């Protein structure tokens, strides 16, 4: 059973809209319930456990304290200084996604013990290729977006320089570096993860590490453990991992993947690299991975547009059509020629 986040604001329409947004998007493993009056909220709290109370800073403080909730977070309109409050505050007039990230950050840092809810392990899909300039990231983003239309999906990019901030036109407040820090410190949980997650369309994603050193200094086996643990402790049915330039060590990451897509090219050098990687898998004891690798030849003109329209083109251009066909068990027409 999901834990409860209760939302009360002096503007009842605000609370209702916020609850509808979060419940429909399923961004967090909490059931969000809105309340139009403090009296009803108090009555509900007498019989139900409330994990998070998100309440207007204008609400009567004594009544707020009477609500039995594990964690109280204020919704502030910015008209007063909340720094001296005993409760943390988030600014209410920002996107619901931003509010959720800030609420989860406050919740994750709280003094209460936070156990990860029990979920069925998500499926990990790896996207990797020893070939450069093969549309690997474009393919992974398109795959994640299309999967997210059917199942709750998370995209994780492990490249040193992904360019995702420019592609998404977003300045990230947190990223994979923060999540990895929490994991190494033994402080990782679903609340901290939710405080980092951003959304593109229906696809959730963790912004890539801002410091390449955070990836280089982490052993590949530890990264594999992190991804496997995340698949078990998060509410995502699908986790698409855009594997970075780990070289041959990428095999240790691919071991945890249920399915692996490998974009390939037909030129002589690319074919030689693919053949060398295949031989390495055999010689290093990773031959069983080959059964899970599906090599894909992507449309040569699948993603050529630059600028703001690029992300839209991924879904509605030739590459998007190709991935839709691929997920249905087929192959692009150009590949059959």
Predicted confidence at residue 242, as pLDDT, reads 95
Predicted confidence at residue 307, as pLDDT, reads 53
Predicted confidence at residue 39, as pLDDT, reads 93
Q: Are 250 and 44 in contact (CB under 8 A)?
A: no
Domains and CATH numbers, the chain: 3-108 (3.40.50.10850), 123-336 (3.40.50.300)
Predicted confidence at residue 120, as pLDDT, reads 63
102-112 tens-digit pLDDT: 998 888 775 54
Predicted confidence at residue 190, as pLDDT, reads 80
pTM, full prediction: 0.80
Predicted confidence at residue 333, as pLDDT, reads 44
Task: With a cut of 70, list the residues of the chain below it in pLDDT.
Answer: 1, 80-84, 110-120, 245, 247-248, 301-308, 330-337
286 CB burial (10 A radius; 0-12, 13-18, 19+) = middle
Q: Are 161 and 212 in contact (CB under 8 A)?
A: yes
Predicted confidence at residue 185, as pLDDT, reads 87
Predicted confidence at residue 290, as pLDDT, reads 92
Predicted confidence at residue 220, as pLDDT, reads 87
């Amino acid at each position: 059973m999901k834990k409860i986040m209760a939302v009360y604001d002096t503007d009842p329409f605000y609370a209702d809209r916020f609850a509808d947004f979060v419940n429909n998007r399923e961004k967090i493993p909490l059931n969000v319930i809105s309340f139009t009056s403090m009296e009803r909220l108090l009555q509900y709290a007498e019989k139900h456990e409330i994990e998070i109370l998100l309440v207007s800073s204008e609400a009567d403080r004594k009544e707020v304290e009477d609500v039995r909730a594990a964690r109280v977070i204020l919704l502030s309109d910015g008209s007063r200084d909340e720094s001296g409050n005993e409760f943390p505050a988030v600014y209410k007039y920002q996107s619901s996604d931003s509010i959720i990230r800030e609420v989860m950050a406050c919740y994750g840092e709280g003094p209460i013990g936070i156990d990860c809810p029990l979920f069925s392990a998500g499926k990990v899909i790896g996207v990797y290729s020893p070939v450069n300039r093969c549309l690997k990231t474009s393919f992974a983003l398109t795959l994640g977006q299309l999967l997210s239309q059917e199942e709750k999906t998370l995209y994780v990019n492990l490249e040193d320089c992904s360019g995702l901030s420019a592609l998404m036109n977003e300045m990230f407040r947190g990223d994979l570096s923060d999540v990895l820090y929490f994991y190494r410190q033994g402080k990782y949980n679903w609340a901290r993860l939710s405080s980092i997650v951003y959304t593109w369309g229906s696809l959730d994603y963790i912004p890539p590490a801002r410091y390449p050193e955070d990836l280089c200094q982490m052993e590949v086996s530890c990264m594999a453990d992190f991804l496997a643990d995340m698949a078990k402790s998060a509410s995502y049915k699908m986790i698409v991992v855009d594997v970075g330039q780990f070289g041959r060590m990428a095999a240790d990451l691919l071991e945890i993947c249920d399915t692996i897509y490998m974009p390939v090219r037909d030129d002589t050098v690319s074919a030689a690299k693919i053949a060398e990687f295949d031989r390495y898998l055999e010689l290093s004891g990773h031959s069983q991975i080959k059964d899970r690798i599906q090599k894909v030849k992507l449309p040569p003109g699948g993603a050529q547009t630059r600028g703001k329209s690029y992300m839209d083109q991924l879904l509605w251009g030739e590459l998007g059509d190709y991935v839709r066909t691929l997920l249905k068990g087929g192959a692009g027409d150009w590949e059959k020629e």
